[in-house]
Chain A
Amino acid sequence: MLQAGLLLLAGLLFHSAAKAEYGLNFPEPAAGVAQEIYDIHMLTMGIATVLLIIVFAIVFYSLYFHRKSRGYQADQNFHTSWFGHWSWVIVPVMVLGVDLTIAGKADIVLKKVWDVPKEENIMDVKVTGHQWWWEFDYLDHDIKVESRYIPEEQSGDLYLREVDNPLVLPTGVKIRFLHTSADVLHAFWVPELAVKKDAIPGYITETWAELNREGTFRGQCAELCGTWHSRMPIVVESVSQDKFTAWVDGQKAIKVAAAAEASADKTWSMDELMVKGKTLYETKCAACHQVTGMGLPPAFPALNGSVLTKGPIADHLNIVINGKEGTAMQPWGTLNDLEIAAIVTYERNAWDNKMGDVVQPADVKQAR
């Protein structure tokens, strides 16, 4: 069994180094730093494999030849020979040699990984972890992308590896990621970009990458962040710089249109708000309160038939805008008036609630 395990390691890992599709090794790196990390991973694994083979060979030789059933007589003085006297020096020196080989190479790579470029034209992306979605702020372009997992019915085989809005990044530009969190610890991990970093509430950590090929790269949150830790995929859409510029323009246009719509002095009908509200609820609220509105008590209370959704509108708006301290309910005040109005209207009329209330953007404005 052990021998089989050894063969598996030596054979499979090296053989399949280039065949990432088997999922035996890291996927093919898409950034310079990731490539260096990949190389040092292969180096240490190579050294480890060689050492393992040596140890196994010696042990199995001994197991076969130095056994009582073969009539072998134990050498009672082996530990007092010159070897026995000096091995405590010889062995550490040999191990130290291996250690220094690894540490020397690792140190060079480490400096490159840690040394985040400080150039003027670097692109900053602020990555904020939320329970349980990612927020990407393109600080240089004034764009914000909210990225959430897609339920299995819609994502199929990519379930837990697919999001609604990917992180679109250009190739050939140095990108600095600024990681932080709105609630608990998260960790941003896309193997092709290599560098994993924790998102710590109240602090900012940074990593960087320069993408060298186009493609779609998938990762997941790597720090346990509560109930739906498994539902925080990250998708990086690596595109050429031209495509990226076009994408930025598109996002800006959408943003302008949404702002115009929200500020328009219009009275919205129940049906319009319900349609908008359903979409918004299902992307932003359903992770905790569920599509059915039944929640997951005790952590996430039901909204269907709850005191809140059937109580005064003012209280309802207050909790949505300001959150509820001491619980997982975060403030949603960054949404615009129209979005909050739609969500609250939906929550008060969906399922069995049927309150018949219509909350207008103007009401939200007043409540802020």
Chain B
Amino acid sequence: MRIPEYQTPELRRKNVRLAWILGGLALFFLVTSFPFWTGIFRIVGNQAMQ
């Protein structure tokens, strides 16, 4: 896999760091989706019946 060296090490570090932050954001949304949704769900949920 040949990558032309157009990125300075500094830029490369910056890029990789931002990528990890965004990846972390995605993971955060994945793991919080369930508790978050059950909470929202109770609020929005089937209140029409009560």
* A binding-site residues for B, Cβ under 8 Å: 114, 203-206
Residues of B1-50 at the interface with A, using a CB-CB cut-off of 8 Å, are 46, 48-49
Complex contact A206–B46 (CB within 8 A): no
A115 to chain B, nearest CB (A): 10
Q: Which A residues touch B48, using CB under 8 A? A: 114, 205-206
Q: Which A residues touch B49, using CB under 8 A? A: 203-206
Q: Which B residues touch A203, using CB under 8 A? A: 46, 49
* B binding-site residues for A, Cβ under 8 Å: 46, 48-49
Task: Give Cα A114–Cα B49 distance, bound, in whole angstroms.
Answer: 11
- How many pairs of A and B residues are in contact by the CB < 8 Å rule? 9
Q: Which B residues touch A114, using CB under 8 A? A: 48
> Who on chain A is nearest to B46 by CB?
A203
B11 to chain A, nearest CB (A): 35
A-B pairs, 8 with minimum CB distance = A203-B46, A204-B49, A114-B48, A206-B49, A205-B48, A206-B48, A205-B49, A205-B46
Q: Which B residues touch A206, using CB under 8 A? A: 48-49
> Who on chain B is nearest to A204 by CB?
B49
Task: Give Cα A40–Cα B42 distance, bound, in whole angstroms.
Answer: 31
B12 to chain A, nearest CB (A): 39
In the assembled complex, 9 residue pairs joining A and B whose CB atoms fall closer than 8 Å, in A order, are A114-B48, A203-B46, A203-B49, A204-B49, A205-B46, A205-B48, A205-B49, A206-B48, A206-B49
A272 to chain B, nearest CB (A): 46
Task: Give Cα A204–Cα B46 distance, bound, in whole angstroms.
Answer: 9
A353 to chain B, nearest CB (A): 46
Task: Give Cα A206–Cα B48 distance, bound, in whole angstroms.
Answer: 8
Q: Which B residues touch A204, using CB under 8 A? A: 49
Task: Give Cα A114–Cα B48 distance, bound, in whole angstroms.
Answer: 8
Task: Give Cα A205–Cα B50 distance, bound, in whole angstroms.
Answer: 11
> Who on chain A is nearest to B49 by CB?
A204
> Who on chain A is nearest to B45 by CB?
A203
Q: Which B residues touch A205, using CB under 8 A? A: 46, 48-49
A243 to chain B, nearest CB (A): 33
A289 to chain B, nearest CB (A): 35
B36 to chain A, nearest CB (A): 22
Task: Give Cα A137–Cα B14 distance, bound, in whole angstroms.
Answer: 66
Task: Give Cα A203–Cα B46 distance, bound, in whole angstroms.
Answer: 9
Task: Give Cα A206–Cα B47 distance, bound, in whole angstroms.
Answer: 12
A195 to chain B, nearest CB (A): 13
Task: Give Cα A206–Cα B46 distance, bound, in whole angstroms.
Answer: 11
A124 to chain B, nearest CB (A): 14
Task: Give Cα A203–Cα B50 distance, bound, in whole angstroms.
Answer: 12
Task: Give Cα A245–Cα B46 distance, bound, in whole angstroms.
Answer: 34
B46 to chain A, nearest CB (A): 6
Other contacts beyond A204-B49, A205-B48: 7, CB < 8 A? A114-B48, A203-B46, A203-B49, A205-B46, A205-B49, A206-B48, A206-B49
